[in-house]
Amino acid sequence: MTTTHLEHTEHGTHSHGPDCGHPAVRHGDHLDYAHDGHLHREHGGHWDECEPAGHTVHESHEHVHHEECGHARVRHGDHVDYLHDGHRHAEHGDHWDDH
């Protein structure tokens, strides 16, 4: 899965890290931080929006996420992602996408 490179210019001076208070999400070879409905990653001295490019279906995902399923929920734009087995899952029609 590829991601777009979009600098988050309104990020200000806040630095994400283990004690910043925002949920950290493992995403490939880096950590994203969920903040104000966006997912941020450090990149070259600034913070990028870390968004998937394209539509990636999470194959063979039989578990149905919901508010009480036990997986952490992270607000992501106009929907909620569920953190599960190192992935962010988002409901999309009759399947789950890998964010």
Over the stretch 49-72, which tens digit does the pLDDT of each residue have?
776 666 677 777 677 778 888 887
76, 39 contact by CB (below 8 A): yes
Task: Report residue 9's pLDDT band, with 50, 70 and 90 as the boundaries.
Answer: low
Joined tokens for residue 34: 């969920």
Predicted local confidence at residue 63, as pLDDT: 76
69-96 residue pLDDT tens:
888 788 777 888 887 776 778 887 888 7
Residue 5 pLDDT: 52
- pLDDT above 50 for 1: no
3-class DSSP string for the chain = CCECCEECHHHCCCCCCCCCCCCEEEECCEEEEEECCEEEEEECCEEEECCECCCCECCCCCCCCCCCCCCCEEEECCEEEEEECCEEEEEECCEEEEC
